[in-house]
């Protein structure tokens, strides 16, 4: 069983280096929480944009159908 050992990263109070893999790990839980909130907000914004695009495309299709019907009525 491998034990994880950490060493502080010089000049960075919230960073540690895992000695077996040399991975840098951020131990600032508040920064992580803020980051995850930003990710969640970005996903929500992206979902809202996708929904708006679908709605616009649907309106375009309906407008095309209306134009076709008007064209038939005029003839």
Q: Please state the rounded mean pLDDT for residues 9-37.
A: 95
Q: Which tokens sit at 68?
A: 């076709």
Q: Model confidence over 28-53: pLDDT tens digits?
A: 999 999 999 999 999 999 999 999 99
What is this structure's pTM? 0.62
Q: For residue 24, give the DSSP letter.
A: E
Q: For residue 4, give the DSSP letter.
A: P
Distance, in Å, from the CA atom of 56 to the CA atom of 50, rounded to the nearest integer, reads 10
Q: Please state the rounded mean pLDDT for residues 12-35.
A: 94
Q: For residue 45, give the DSSP letter.
A: H
pLDDT > 70 fraction of the chain, expressed in percent and rounded: 97
């Amino acid at each position: 069983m491998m034990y994880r050992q950490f060493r502080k990263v010089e000049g960075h109070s919230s960073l540690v280096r895992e000695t077996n893999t040399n991975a840098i790990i951020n131990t600032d839980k508040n920064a992580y929480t803020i980051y995850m909130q930003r990710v969640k907000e970005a996903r929500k914004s992206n979902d809202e944009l996708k929904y708006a695009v679908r709605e616009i495309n649907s309106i375009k299709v309906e407008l095309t159908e209306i134009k076709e019907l008007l064209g038939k009525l005029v003839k």
